[in-house]
A and B are shown apart, each in its own frame.
Chain A
Amino acid sequence: MDRLALDVAHLFAGGLVLASFMLLYQDRMFGLLNIFALHALIVSLSVAWQAHIQLAPHLYVTAAIALVVKAIIIPVVLHRIIVRLGIHRTIETVGGIGQIMLAGIALVALSILVMLPITAQAGTLTREDLAFSLSVILLGLLMMISRRNAVSQVIGFMSIENGLILAATAAKGMPLVVEISVAFSIIIALIVVGIFLFRIRERFDTMDVHAMGRFRGGQP
C-alpha cells in the first residue's frame, strides 16, 4: 500500500484516540462539546480518507453523515439544551483526573496488546485502525462510567460510536456500513431528543443521574 495513504490514515486514527483522551479530562460542558465536535470531525475525515484510498464511494455518505450530524447538528443542539437547562458549570468526575488518565493509558495498551497479535493476517492499515478503534471504544466506556452527568454520558456514548464507525470502515469492503451509520444517527438523535423531551432536569431537578436512584422502586 502507498506509504502516504497509510500515514494519513494513521494520523487520523491516532488523532481520534488523542481526542478521546481530551474528552476524558475535559471538565467544562462547553469545552466537552467542542472536543466532541473535533472528535466527530476527525472521524469524518478518517472515513473520507478511507473512501478515497479504498475506492469505496459509498463511504463518503458515512463521512458526510458524521460531519453534518455529529460535528455540527448535535453539538449545536446540545449547546442550546445546556444553556436552556442552565447546567454550564464545571462537571465533576468520580475519580481524580490523574487516575482516569492512567486508566485510559492502560486501556489503550490493552487494546493494542489484544488487537495487534490476532489480526496478524490482515493488512497494516486494518490492524492499526482496529487497535485504535478498540481504544476509542474502551475510552468511551471509561468516560461513561467516570461521569455522573447525563449529557457527558451521552457524549461518551457518541465517542464509542465514532470508534465503531472507524472500525467498520477499516474492515475493507464491509457491506451495510452506510446503513449502520444511519441507524446509529437515529439512536443518537433519539438520545438527544430524549434528554430534552424526557426533561430529565425538570423531572428530577438535576442532571445528575445518580439522583435517579430514588425512583428505583422495590421499597414500599
Chain B
Amino acid sequence: MTEFGPILVMAILVLPIGSAALLALVPDTRATGHLNALASLLTFLVSTSLFFVRPEPGPFLIVDDVNVVFIVLTTFVAFTTSVFSSSYIAHELDTTRLTPTYLRFYHAMYQTLMFAMNLALLSNNVGLMWVAIELATLTTVLMVGLYRTPAALEAAWKYFILGSVGIALALFGTILVYLAASAVVGEGLDAMAWSVLVKRAASFDPHLLNLAFAFLLLGYGTKVGLVPLHAWLPDAHAEGPTPISAVLSGLLLNVALFAVLRFKMVMSANPGALAPGPLMVTLGLLSVLFAAFMLFRRHDIKRMFAYSSIEHMGIITFAFGMGGPLANFAGLLHMTFHSLTKSAIFFSVGHIAQIKGTQTMSEIRGLTVSHPVLGWGLVLGVMTIVGLPPMGIFMSEFLIITSTFPRQPVLAVALGLGLLLTLGALLLRLNGLAFGEPYGNEAPAQASFIPMFAHLGLVLAAGIFLPPALVSWFQYVAGLLG
C-alpha cells in the first residue's frame, strides 16, 4: 500500500490547484458552485486515505501523526463550506452583488486557498510552509475585498498590511531557525526539514532558538489572531463573503496555529531553550479576556462572531501553552469542535444576512418565528459555541479548566471568567436575534441546511460519545505535542 502514498499526497495538492485552474476557465456560473463542491469532496476523500497509508517523509512533504488530524479536518470543513458556498453564491448572483467574472475569480481563489492550506500542513520544509501560508494570506486578502465596497477594501488593505508584516516577522524567525540548525545539521535542505529539526533540536543553540521563537510566535500569531495582533481579523470576517469568513475562522487560523505548534515542538525538544508555554498562555489568556469584553459592544453580527473566534483561538493557544497530555488533548478537541461549530454558525449567519439584507443586529429580530430552521440552527450554534452541555465544546473547555486548576489555579479562574463573560455577551445578543417579534424581510430562506446541521450534529455526537479510537488517537498526538 505504501507505494501509493506519494501519489495520494500529491493528489491532495494537485486536486485543488488543478480545479482552481479549471474553475478559472469554466464560464457557466451555475455549474461552477457544484464543481467547486465536487473538487472539495474528492480532496476530502483522498485525505481520509492518509489514515491508512503513510508515505515516507521527503525533504519537502511529510505526513505524520500530527498533521493528519489537521489535514482531514481542513479538507472536511472545506468540503462542507463549498456546499454552503454554492447556495450562498447563487443568491449573490441573483441579487447581482457579484458579477459572473468575479464569481469565476472567487471559485478559483477558493481552491487556491485550499491548495495553500494543504501545502502548509503537508510541508516538511519550514521555508515551504512559510511560502504556503503567505499564499493563503494573499488569496484570502483578494477574497475579503471581493465586494469592493469601501468597507471591504479597507478590511482587505488592513489585513494585507498587518498580515504581510506578520509574515515578514515569521520569515525572520524561520531564517534564525535555519541558522541554529545549520550549525548542527549542516547546510542545505536538511536544516529546514521539520522532521530533522525535531530530532536534532536538543543540540541547537538555545539562544538563537529563543529569539527565533519570539519572531515566529509574533509572526504566525498575527495570523492566528492573538491579541494584540488581532486588528485585521474582525474587519476581514465582517466584510468578505460569508463562506470565506467560515473558512478563515474554521481553517486558516488553525493552519497558522499549526505552524506555531510545529516550532513549539522544536523549542520543547531543546532543554536549554526558553519554555514556549508561558508566552503562549499569556497571549492566549489576553485574547480570551479582551475578546470577552469586546463582545459586549458589537453591532454587526459577523463581527461579533469574529471576536468569538479570537476568544476561541485564545483558548486553544492557552491549552497548548499549558502543555502536558491532558491540556494538549483538550486543545486538539477544542480546535476541532471550534472549526466545526464556528463554520456552522457562519453558514446560518450568511443566509440570515442575505435574507435580511443587513448585518446590523438591531435590524435582525425574531428569527425563530420568521425562519424556524435557520433561527433554531443559530440558537443551537450559539449554545454550542458558548460551551453549554451536552455539546462537545463544553467537554473540551471543561477539560482545559480542570487540567489547569491543579497547576495554575489563578490562570484557571481568569480563563473561567473569560468564558463566563463570553457566555453572557453572546446569549444577550442571541436573545434579541432569535426571539421576539420578527423584524425586517421575512422571505423564506432558500438555503442548504445540511452543512450546518451536519457540523452541529457531529459536535453534539462527540459531546455525548467520543469514539474510543478517536480518543486514543488524539491522546497519542497530544503526547507528541509535548
Q: Interface on chain B toward A: helix, strand, loop, or mixed SS?
A: helix
Chain A residues near B229: list those with CB within 8 A: none
List B residues 296-315 near A (Cβ within 8 Å): 297-300, 303
Contact A215 to B151, CB < 8 A, known contacts A114-B211, A174-B178, A186-B138: yes
Inter-subunit contact A122/B179 (CB<8 Å): yes
A200 proximal to B (CB < 8 A): yes
- How does the 8 Å CB contact mask read for B224-249 relative to A, with 1 for contact and 0 for none? 00000000000100110000000000
List A residues 106-165 near B (Cβ within 8 Å): 114-115, 117-119, 121-122, 126, 130, 133-134, 137, 141, 144, 150, 153, 157, 160-161, 164
A77 proximal to B (CB < 8 A): no
Selecting from A25-33, A35-43, A176-184, the interface stretch reads A176-184
**Contact with A175, one of B127, B135, B171, B235 (Cβ below 8 angstroms):** B127
Chain A residues near B182: list those with CB within 8 A: 171-174
**Contact with A217, one of B125, B156, B160, B235 (Cβ below 8 angstroms):** B235
List B residues 149-194 near A (Cβ within 8 Å): 150-151, 153-154, 156-158, 160-161, 164-165, 167-169, 171-172, 175-176, 178-179, 182-183, 187-189, 191-192
**Contact with B179, one of A117, A134, A171, A204 (Cβ below 8 angstroms):** A171
Least CB separation from B361: chain A residue: A220
B131 proximal to A (CB < 8 A): yes
A219 proximal to B (CB < 8 A): yes
Instruction: Give min CB distance, B193 to chain A, whole Å.
Output: 10
Bound-state CA distance A82–B189 (Å) is: 42
Inter-subunit contact A183/B135 (CB<8 Å): yes
Chain A residues near B156: list those with CB within 8 A: 194, 198
Inter-subunit contact A117/B207 (CB<8 Å): yes
Instruction: Give min CB distance, A64 to chain B, whole Å.
Output: 19
B346 proximal to A (CB < 8 A): no
Bound-state CA distance A162–B205 (Å) is: 26
Contact A121 to B183, CB < 8 A, known contacts A204-B150, A217-B238: yes
Inter-subunit contact B208/A118 (CB<8 Å): yes
**Contact with A174, one of B157, B167, B175 (Cβ below 8 angstroms):** B175
Chain A residues near B171: list those with CB within 8 A: 164, 168, 180
Instruction: Give min CB distance, A129 to chain B, whole Å.
Output: 11
B134 proximal to A (CB < 8 A): yes
A98 proximal to B (CB < 8 A): no
Instruction: Give min CB distance, A37 to chain B, whole Å.
Output: 20
Inter-subunit contact B208/A212 (CB<8 Å): no
List B residues 133-154 near A (Cβ within 8 Å): 134-135, 138, 141, 145, 150-151, 153-154
Instruction: Give min CB distance, B162 to chain A, whole Å.
Output: 10
A76 proximal to B (CB < 8 A): no
Least CB separation from B212: chain A residue: A118
A190 proximal to B (CB < 8 A): yes
Contact A180 to B168, CB < 8 A, known contacts A172-B187, A217-B300: no
Inter-subunit contact B168/A164 (CB<8 Å): yes
Least CB separation from A209: chain B residue: B157
A17 proximal to B (CB < 8 A): no
B362 proximal to A (CB < 8 A): yes
Least CB separation from B125: chain A residue: A176
Inter-subunit contact B360/A187 (CB<8 Å): no
Residue of B125, B171, B238 with most chain A CB atoms under a 10 A cut-off? B171
- How does the 8 Å CB contact mask read for A199-220 relative to B, with 1 for contact and 0 for none? 0100110000100100111111
Inter-subunit contact B189/A175 (CB<8 Å): yes
B42 proximal to A (CB < 8 A): no
Inter-subunit contact B134/A134 (CB<8 Å): no
Least CB separation from A117: chain B residue: B207
B13 proximal to A (CB < 8 A): no
Bound-state CA distance A28–B178 (Å) is: 39
Bound-state CA distance A115–B128 (Å) is: 25
Chain B residues near A176: list those with CB within 8 A: 125, 127-128, 131, 192
Instruction: Give min CB distance, A143 to chain B, whole Å.
Output: 12
B453 proximal to A (CB < 8 A): no
**Contact with A157, one of B131, B165, B178 (Cβ below 8 angstroms):** B165
A19 proximal to B (CB < 8 A): no
Contact A218 to B175, CB < 8 A, known contacts A144-B165, A175-B192, A203-B153: no
Least CB separation from B205: chain A residue: A121
A167 proximal to B (CB < 8 A): yes
Instruction: Give min CB distance, B206 to chain A, whole Å.
Output: 9
B337 proximal to A (CB < 8 A): no
Task: Report the 3 A-B pairs with minimum CB-CB distance, sorted nearest first.
Answer: A173-B187, A118-B207, A176-B127
Instruction: List the interface of chain A (C-beta within 8 A of B).
Output: 114-115, 117-119, 121-122, 126, 130, 133-134, 137, 141, 144, 150, 153, 157, 160-161, 164, 167-168, 171-176, 179-180, 183, 186-187, 190-191, 194, 198, 200, 203-204, 209, 212, 215-220
Instruction: List the interface of chain B (C-beta within 8 A of A).
Output: 125, 127-128, 130-131, 134-135, 138, 141, 145, 150-151, 153-154, 156-158, 160-161, 164-165, 167-169, 171-172, 175-176, 178-179, 182-183, 187-189, 191-192, 205, 207-208, 210-211, 235, 238-239, 297-300, 303, 360, 362
Given contacts A118-B208, A215-B151, list 9 more A-B pairs with CB under 8 A. A118-B205, A168-B171, A173-B182, A173-B187, A190-B160, A191-B160, A191-B164, A216-B235, A217-B151
